[in-house]
Chain A
């Protein structure tokens, strides 16, 4: 650490320091990944559960045309849900076990911490999405009209979206039990309203407005565009923009709920 001259106001230093310091962010990401590495059962579940659900979907539908239509939507939704729960619980645990307070008494920025989490779980999301997409396209015989790249990009974004919403939701949970409960509270309404169960244009106005306000609707819409044939249309770009907006809003909300000083 460089010596600080006596008169420099502390506030100026915070302002001048970059918002994210990569060494601390990367250390945090490595720490989160090490925690996962010591917990092989969780890793197996993270990677295997979305794929098992896809296999189940394949046999439940038992119809190649229906599968081609639904598979991309679920490739977007399963990682979203799983990342949401994992992040909500992990962050809540960090708050409850005192490590968050310890870190907040140290020279770690909130954004260093959040970015570290985002990188670690983002990498996990890439593996998770890669495996579920690989299995769907080969073994399960899902056919895409266009390239697989947009599907992968959107699926990873969906997983990161789930992660950032989980981070935000964890602020409303005092216990791990409550953190798990935020999943049905935050996620299940979105699953009902996102256009998988009923097409969005068949909903009543009020429900459509609600659907328009929820992030998962855009994730599913982008996937629908891709399975309908348009490999990357203007609407997909708009969806991706909205998803990115929700990711940053949720991360910013998460940063606001991380308090360095509490009352």
Chain B
């Protein structure tokens, strides 16, 4: 695996309940960049992310992350994963959540408090440390969920729709955080079904019905399709695919 690629997958097939969810996917995710996984709801984004973090059974093909096969136990402390459904304990305070997940991630006791303070500052969660997560607003909850993913300073962040449904100011701030992390050397794979987020990514994977329509930088995809914006580019690519289908 080349050092400038954080994820490399070929011929990836995943089936759930007999349906093909990921249909022969081959792709790479560049290291140290923000890669957007864009596509409509139900196109397989979540399944692809679950496959990469190692909680989904793979039917065929392979995926390598940071030079190790998906699901390798050595990856578990190096990947930060945030699911769509905000998997934090609502009946614990923010600090209690972070202390528990930090311990599970293998942060030594001496570094735990520092890591928590740094993550709380990064996500602007100051003042909420001792509040129960069940009292959080939607935006606070989304950031608490991201905090768990960021906590151990992972090399690769897999974030499933982290900004969907949030207010525009918070969304802008989070994207700024994502780019700061990438500038610090981390690789981010961020999914969204909202096309106007595509322009904020360095690299894009357009997905539809379990397959990729295209991959490239926003500029490349605009040039390839001659479209004015990324939403039109997606539509153009989708209709081309439809046209070649038997």
Contact = CB atoms under 8 A, between A and B. Distances in A.
Contacts, number: 89
A178 B66 CA distance: 41
A104 B76 CA distance: 9
Contacts of A108: 104
A108 B16 CA distance: 25
Nearest to B77: A107
Interface stretch (B31-39, B85-93, B136-144, B226-234): B85-93
A99 interface: yes
A1 B99 CA distance: 17
A143 interface: no
Interface string B93-118: 10010011101111000000000000
A124 to B, nearest CB: 15
Contacts of B72: 10
B104 A107 contact: yes
A10 B74 CA distance: 7
A48 interface: no
A38 B77 contact: no
A235 interface: no
A102 B83 contact: yes
B155 to A, nearest CB: 13
B119 to A, nearest CB: 15
B205 to A, nearest CB: 21
A106 B101 contact: yes
B87 A97 contact: yes
Interface string A1-34: 1001000001001100000000110011011001
Given A24-B103, A107-B73, A99 B89 contact: yes
Contacts of A262: 55-57
A99 B76 contact: no
Contacts of B188: none
Contact of B87 (A23, A24, A99): A99
A263 B73 contact: no
Nearest to A261: B57
A174 interface: no
Given A23-B103, A34-B96, A260 B77 contact: no
Interface residues on A, range: 20 to 34
Interface residues on B, range: 35 or more
A182 to B, nearest CB: 22
A98 interface: yes
A99 B56 CA distance: 15
B79 interface: yes
A35 interface: yes
A13 B73 contact: yes
A10 B73 CA distance: 7
B55 A260 contact: yes
Contact of A4 (B74, B92, B106): B74
Contacts of A4: 74
A259 to B, nearest CB: 8
B105 A107 contact: yes
Contacts of A176: none
B55 A106 contact: no
B92 A31 contact: yes
Contact of B148 (A14, A35, A102, A260): A102
23 contacts: A23-B103, A24-B104, A27-B99, A27-B103, A27-B104, A35-B92, A38-B92, A38-B93, A38-B132, A98-B85, A98-B86, A99-B87, A99-B88, A101-B55, A101-B87, A102-B87, A102-B101, A105-B53, A105-B76, A106-B76, A106-B101, A262-B55, A262-B57
Given A4-B74, A99-B89, A106-B76, 18 more contacts: A13-B74, A28-B104, A31-B96, A35-B91, A38-B132, A97-B85, A98-B85, A102-B148, A105-B55, A105-B79, A106-B77, A106-B101, A107-B104, A260-B55, A260-B71, A261-B57, A262-B57, A263-B57
